[in-house]
Amino acid sequence: MDLKQIEKINTYEWEISRSVQPWMRVPVRIFSDEIMLKAALQDRSLDQAVNAASLPGLVGSVCVMPDVHQGYGFPIGGVAATDVQEGVISPGGIGYDINCGVRLMASDLPRQAAEHLLEDFTRLLYQACPSGVGEKGIVQVQAKELRRICEQGSGWALKNGFADREDIETSEDGGCIAGADWAAVSRRASERGAEQIGSLGSGNHFIEVDYVEQVFDEQAAAVMGLHKGSIAIQLHSGSRGFGHQVCTDFVHQFQAVAAKYHIQLPDRELVCAPLNSTEGRAYLSAMRAAANYAFCNRQVLAYAVRQTFEDCFPGYHLRNVYDLAHNIGKIETHRIGGQSVRVCVHRKGATRAFAPGHPDLPQQYQKIGQPVLVPGSMGTSSWVLVGTESAMLKSFGSCSHGAGRVLSRTQAKKEVNGGQLREELAARGIFVQAGSLRGLAEEAPRAYKNIDRVIECIEGTGLGRSVARLVPLAVIKG
C-alpha cells in the first residue's frame, strides 16, 4: 500500500477507494493522523484492510482505527459489517482471543491513602489472580458446568457467588450473549477451557492499579463513579485457550467452506462462511459460547480483585464501571445509506462506542453514552471516554481499543531488557509484578503507539468523547 493511493478527507480521516483493487466491494475508511498513517504503512495492516474489503455482503466501509497494526487476516483495529442475509462471517475478523476485553472498577479510596500499602496490595493481587501461559484459573469445572458457563456467561458467576447484580448490569450485553450453542464447541476446546475460569493469561493481558489523574467531563465521570485522585483498577483478559481453540477449529474448517460456496478471497486468512449457512451459524454459536466464557472469566477475576481490595482497604468498596469486549462479532442494527440494516459487525481489536439513548446500554448510561475504555501501554496513561452519535454514523458504533503495537513481540524482546524495564518503571513509581521478564519486555511502553495521539484522533473524528485520564501505580503481567 502506498500513501498516494490514500485520499485525505480531513485531518483525521482518510479513504482507500474501491478502485484500488478489483476485489474491493467497499472502500476502506481510516481514522488517523498523518504521522500514524505513515507508520501503519510499515506493516501489512492497511493491505489487510483492503483485502478484507473483498468479503461478500459488506456494507458501508471497512473501518480502520488509529491503533491499527497487523493481525491474522484482518488488521487489529479493524471493523467491518456484513448484511445478515447476504453476508459472511469471518473468524479472522474477530480474532483468536474471542472477547478479549477490559473491565474498569472504581473506588473512593484516595491515592494518598493507598500508597503505603500499594506494594503489599499488588503482591496480594498477584497471588489471588492466576496469570501466565496455560495457568489454571480460580475455578475448575467439569464439562456439564462449563456448558452452563458458555450459555450463561457472567450470569453463572452471579448464581455461584462471584458477582453482584450491579456487575451484571454494567457489563456489555449483561455479560451474556444469547444464542450460544454448546454442540458447536469441540471436545478439545472444552478440555482447554475447563481449568482456566478466573485466570489472566499472558501477553498483553494485565491487571493495573491506577489513579484518576484528570477529569474532563464532570457529569459523565460522576455517573461512572470516577473521582479525581481516587484509585481505580483495570482488568484485561479474554477467553484463554477455550476461545483460541474455537477460532482454530473454524479457521481450519472454513478453508474448505470458502470453495464450497464459491467465495474467492485475496488472502486465505480471510476464510469465511455465509451467515445463513450451516457452517456460519455453527461458528457464530461457538463464538458466542467463547464470548460468554470470557465474560465469566473476567467476572471471576474481578471478584478476586474486589475481595483482595476490600480486605486490604477496609471501609472502601470497588464497584464495576463497565466491562466490554474487543474481539467479537455482533448482530446489530445500523443506519446505512439512510436505511436501518441488520448486520454482523466484526470488531477485531476495537470496542463498541454506542451513543446516548441506545437501547442496548444500561439504564445509568442512557444519558451519557457507553463507557469506552482505552488502556495505554504499560507505564503510560489510559483513557475513559463515552460513545457518540458520530461513532454510530461513521464506524458502526465502534472505537479504538488501546494504543496499538509498533514493535512486534519478537522485536520488543530483542530491543528491551525486562529487568531494566522493571527498574525504570519502579523509578517512576510504578510497581510491577510479572511472571516472566521476557514477557514483560514484550509489553514495554516503546512497543506501543503514543496513547495520547490515539485519543486525539478519536476526539478529532468524533468516535468518542474524553471523560477521564488514568495513570498507573502498579501493573500485574502474566
Confirm or deny that 262 is annotated as ligand binding: no
Annotated binding-site residue? 204: yes
310 in a known ligand binding site: no
Out of 69, 334, 346, 401, which one is annotated catalytic? 401
Q: 175 labelled as ligand-binding? A: no
User: Would you say 401 is a known binding-site residue?
Assistant: yes
Q: Is 236 labeled as ligand-binding?
A: yes
Quick one: CA dihedral 222, 228, 233, 237, positive or negative? Answer: positive
User: Does residue 378 have a known ligand-binding role?
Assistant: yes
Q: 392 a known binding residue?
A: no
- Identify the bridge partners of residue 333 per DSSP, sorted by sequence position: 342
* 69 annotated ligand binder: no
277 marked as binding residue: no
Three-state DSSP string of the chain? CCHHHCEEEECCEEEECHHHCCCCCCCEEEECCHHHHHHHCCCCHHHHHHHHCCCCCEEEEEEEEEEEECCCCCCEEEEEEEECCCCEECHHHCCCCCCCEEEEEEEEEEHHHHHHHHHHHHHHHHHHCCCCCCCCCCECCCHHHHHHHHHHCHHHHHHCCCCCHHHHHCEHHHHCCCCCCHHHCCHHHHHHHCCCECCCCCCCCEEEEEEEEEECCHHHHHHHCCCCCEEEEEEEECCHHHHHHHHHHHHHHHHHHHHHCCCCCCCHHHCCEECCCHHHHHHHHHHHHHHHHHHHHHHHHHHHHHHHHHHHCCCCCCEEEEEEECCEEEEEEEEECCEEEEEEEEEECEEECCCCCCCCCCHHHCCCCCEEEECCCCCCCEEEEECCHHHHHHCCCEEECCCCECCCHHHHHHHCCHHHHHHHHHHCCCEEEECCHHHHHHCCHHHECCHHHHHHHHHHHCCCEEEEEEEEEEEEEC
Catalytic annotation present for 252: no
The closest of 456, 331, 321, 465 to 396, measured between CA atoms, is: 331
Nearest residue to 379 via CA among 284, 322, 445: 445
402 carries a ligand binding annotation:
yes
Q: Is 404 annotated as a binding residue?
A: yes
Q: Is 97 annotated as a binding residue?
A: yes
135 is in an annotated binding site: no
Q: Is 326 marked within a binding site? A: yes
Q: Is 121 annotated as a binding residue?
A: no
Query: Is 208 labelled a binding residue?
Result: yes
Known binding-site residues for GMP equal 204-208, 326-327, 375-378, 382, 401-404, 477
Residues annotated as binding site for Mn(2+)?
97, 205, 236, 326
Q: Which residues are catalytic?
A: 401
Binding site, annotated residues: 97, 204-208, 236, 326-327, 375-378, 382, 401-404, 477
